[in-house]
Structure 1
Amino acid sequence: MLLNGKPVDLDQLQVLGLTNYGHFTSMRVDAGRVRGLTLHLDRLTRDCRAVFGAELDQNEVRSYLRWVVDGCAESIVARVTVFDPYLDLGHPASASSPQVLVTTRAASSVPLAPLALTARRYERDVPAVKHVGLFGTMFHRRQAQLAGFDDALFVDGEGFVSEGATWNIGLIEGDEIVWPQAPVLPGITMALIQQERAGLQRRVNVTELDRYAGAFITNAAMGVRRIHAIDAIQWTDAVAPVEQIRRRYAAIPGEPI
């Protein structure tokens, strides 16, 4: 864990823990390479302008990442969090000195089981920004798991599908991928898949999910993962098309940090 490339003073993390104001991106690092690294860095730059009104030096961020991941033989997930350790809770408009925190965790190397989801009504605050305010998303994930599901699929007040707590959702219709058209956090994995296979965007109501032949989620840490059920709807014949999408994504070369 490094803050601006240096060991972290725990006092510097206090503001992040107590105010929960900042933004981040998470990326899987394999042998020093990251799929969509440029997109991750562009997200950090864009979100830093939105959250702090400040510019972020992408070359500095890359150097901080290199210091943390250098020598890692195993695949890891690196998270870059941008926050202002001097933020005043009463005057957040004064937050203008964003700092870069890099943390890591182990990446899963085991194929992940398909997911069972349940629909829950929730709309993310400031959905275009990957911000650190995760209470709402984690609350609904927890409620879904307590009810016996793996995760929650978010829908709005009219039942239109958007995304999940930490992922985007794709639906299979014939040879096409359908991405729900809604205010969502635009994921890097989704963007990379769209570069390879654009697909369609349309509003998708949760009551119409049975018209689709299958579904999957996308996330930088796990890539592509099949959904086998959303509430009472089940897909048992979607293994092959989702596996094809997963393989095409896995074949995208990573960019060196």
Structure 2
Amino acid sequence: MPRISYVNGQYVTHSEAAVHIEDRGYQFADGVYEVCEIRHGYIVDITRHLDRLHRSLSELRIAAPMSRAAMVHVIRETVRRNKVKNGLFYMQVTRGVARRDHVFPAEGTKPSIVITAKSTDASVIAKKNANGIKAVTVSDNRWDRVDIKTVGLLPNVMARQQAKEAGAQEAIYVDRDGFVTEGAATNVWFVDADGTLVTRPAEHGILKGITRTTLLDVGAKLGLKVAERKFTVAEMLAAREVFITAATSICFPVVSIDGQTIANGHPGSVSQNIREAFFDVAEKIAI
């Protein structure tokens, strides 16, 4: 069965899906996106994802391409047409198609929207959870508004490539003051010597991850002590556990950073407990 994508009002074969060459997402990375997990036939945390999407659109002064109800309908239909039970959907909204010019196009220019869905291999995720992943640290060279989930991801691409070439699976950004910000595509957490779960505040300098937000709810349910504060690379390297979170992976344990083993080099119990409790707390809607 061929994959199906939604592009500006039409469901089309994925291999033939296309936008105009003067779409501002292509020309300027003038757009935003969301990625949301599908698990056992349910879409996870869609309300928070759509809340963040509309915040991103508002911050960039891009009009919503349709009502929220219509958007949920199209997402569900795209997922159904691709027969995805476990996987993800990707949604991208740009400022639309217009003659190339840095300033905004004329008022009334219609935003572009693309939605795709695909299945993922659960065994790959299970292996990373069982073995843990490796990470490297990199200097944070991104623009200041990383709180907006834009499609301008070139620094993230370069960071992930640097990680790959070092035999790692994630790059962890460090700001000019020596504090950890976040991963190239994840939020970063660690468990300190006292058992406190630590992550950077999301007011500035990082994306307010949806999985991160739900995980705070999970931590409360499990009775974990959680601290949102800045932390250094040295603190992270000395931790009992380090893990990263994202919608497509939930919670991956990190067992090595810059070649240095974290704790005993094996995934820890806190990340495992969080992962096991996550879907009991997260919002789920049927496809």
Structure-2-length-normalised TM-score: 0.82
1:208 equivalent in alignment to 2:262 = no
Q: Which residue of 1 aligns with 2:152?
A: 133
One-letter amino acid of the counterpart of residue 79, structure 1: Y
CA distance in 2 between partners of 1:238 and 1:75 (Å): 24
One-letter amino acid of the counterpart of residue 49, structure 2: H
1:151 equivalent in alignment to 2:192 = no
Say whether the 8 Å CA contact 1:2–1:103 is kept in structure 2: yes
Q: Which residue of 2 aligns with 1:162?
A: 181
C-alpha distance 194-88 of structure 1, shift in aligned 2 (>3 A) = farther
CA distance in 2 between partners of 1:137 and 1:226 (Å): 20
1:36-47 matches, within 5 Å, as 36-47=45-56
Aligned residue among 177, 180, 196 for 2:200: 180
1:58 equivalent in alignment to 2:40 = no
Query: What root-mean-square deviation, in Å, do the aligned CA atoms of Structure 1 and Structure 2 show?
Result: 2.2
1:230 equivalent in alignment to 2:257 = yes
SS of the equivalent of 2:20 reads helix
1:68-95, CA deviations, whole angstroms, 9 ceiling, x for partnerless residues? 0115253121011111331443144227
1:172-199, CA deviations, whole angstroms, 9 ceiling, x for partnerless residues? 1233210023510111100001122252
1:197-245, CA deviations, whole angstroms, 9 ceiling, x for partnerless residues? 2521111011222342111110101111100011224232552121011
Say whether the 8 Å CA contact 2:242–2:262 is kept in structure 1: no
For structure 2, the residue ranges without an aligned partner over 5 or more in a row are 221-225
One-letter amino acid of the counterpart of residue 269, structure 2: A
Q: Which residue of 2 aligns with 1:97?
A: 110
CA distance in 2 between partners of 1:239 and 1:38 (Å): 30
1:12 equivalent in alignment to 2:39 = no
Question: Deviating runs (4+, > 4 A) in structure 1?
Answer: none
CA distance in 1 between partners of 2:182 and 2:55 (Å): 21
CA distance in 1 between partners of 2:184 and 2:43 (Å): 22
**Greater shift in the superposed pair: 166-175 or 128-137:** 166-175
SS of the equivalent of 1:97 reads coil
CA distance in 2 between partners of 1:20 and 1:119 (Å): 25
Say whether the 8 Å CA contact 1:45–1:58 is kept in structure 2: no
SS of the equivalent of 1:241 reads helix
Say whether the 8 Å CA contact 2:33–2:53 is kept in structure 1: yes
